[in-house]
Amino acid sequence: MEFKPRRVVCWLVITILVALLLWYQTGTQANSTHEHINKGRLSRVSSKVPQDVPLARRKVYDQVETFLIFIGYPRSGHTLVGSLIDAHPNAIIANELDIIGSWLEWNEDHRNKYFLFDQLYKNSHEQTLKGFRSSSVKHRFNYSVRGQWQGRFDRTIKVIGDKKGGGMTARLTNQKQAPILARIKNKIKVKFKFIHVVRNPFDNIATMTTRDKDKTSFKSQGKLNDTDALEQQIFKYFVLAAGNQRLIQRRRKNVLEIHSKDMISKPRDTLRRICKLLDLTCSKQYLYDCASIVYKEPSKTRFRVVWTDKQKQRTLKAMRRFAFLKGYTFDSL
């Protein structure tokens, strides 16, 4: 058989080229698979990072030291207190975002510190544009503190929170919803503080009753005469009082009791107590500006409702069960 070197060389070249081609395709497929896997991993990781929260604000949120929660009752004065704290340059307080309700509604990607804090900040800012803290929108009550920091902050936020008084107490005393707060605390990893705002129960209950009725319910003397409606609100108030008492007993060191009559009669001293709880420095100007918007005397709505003698006595008897209601009567502030 005749040996043909050219043919042998040709076959060798073809064999080498085929081998190189197979090696290249195998490597490309492997790299593609590896890249696809990495992309999958990255997409899962990135889904946990709140991309909709600006980086600059995320850095600010990392400096938050305290989360503030309000407990109490509807119509007790929480809105004023929350608005005054929100006026501090290093505090952001939302108005009824309802952190537990919102947390339950959000998907898992949003259940993180950055998204929660950003929602609180946006709520606070929105309040200054068209809510109770707006200086340009007319409301029955206006809590705008001119010259201070409502809806914004000065470089850092040390305290952030939500004003949801009675609603928060109802959630924290609900066996199914109470554990949600522990989950939130585990996610955001800052200390929690609580403010319990107390108003004269007769005024508080009366306001809860009148706000639940339309204007046609009032008689010619300007008083609401609806024994059943008042009875319902008396019951509701003391259910919340019992719940607050349990919450205070569990978290005694981290709860500050504020009486609305003190916020009215001595606003600067009351704000200093709040600042001490929250480790905030309060300037004289901040205290002066906040005090300037506080109404001069409490609203005595107890006289806008017709109380039976039995209802008065039953309310007084129930009040004796709670230390934080000591000293209040139908005729006191």
pLDDT mean over 18-47: 40
**Higher-confidence residue: 285 or 130?**
285
Distance (Å) of CA 51 to CA 23, 33, 37, 45, 100 = 40, 27, 22, 11, 22
Class of domain 58-325 (CATH, top level): alpha beta
Q: Are 307 and 279 in contact (CB under 8 A)?
A: no
pLDDT mean over 61-78: 97
DSSP character at residue 224: B
Concatenate the DSSP letters of all residues of 93-121 into one string. Answer: EEES--HHHHHHHS-GGG-SHHHHHHHHH
> What's the pLDDT tens digit per position in 73-113?
999 999 999 999 999 999 999 999 999 999 999 999 999 99
DSSP character at residue 303: G
- Tokens 């990392």 belong to 62
> What's the pLDDT tens digit per position in 166-185?
999 999 999 999 999 999 99
> What's the pLDDT tens digit per position in 212-259?
776 556 664 689 999 999 999 999 999 999 999 999 999 989 999 999
pLDDT for the residue 260: 96
> What's the pLDDT tens digit per position in 270-312?
999 999 999 999 999 999 999 999 998 999 999 999 999 999 9
pLDDT for the residue 116: 98
pLDDT for the residue 136: 77
pLDDT for the residue 282: 96
pLDDT for the residue 241: 98
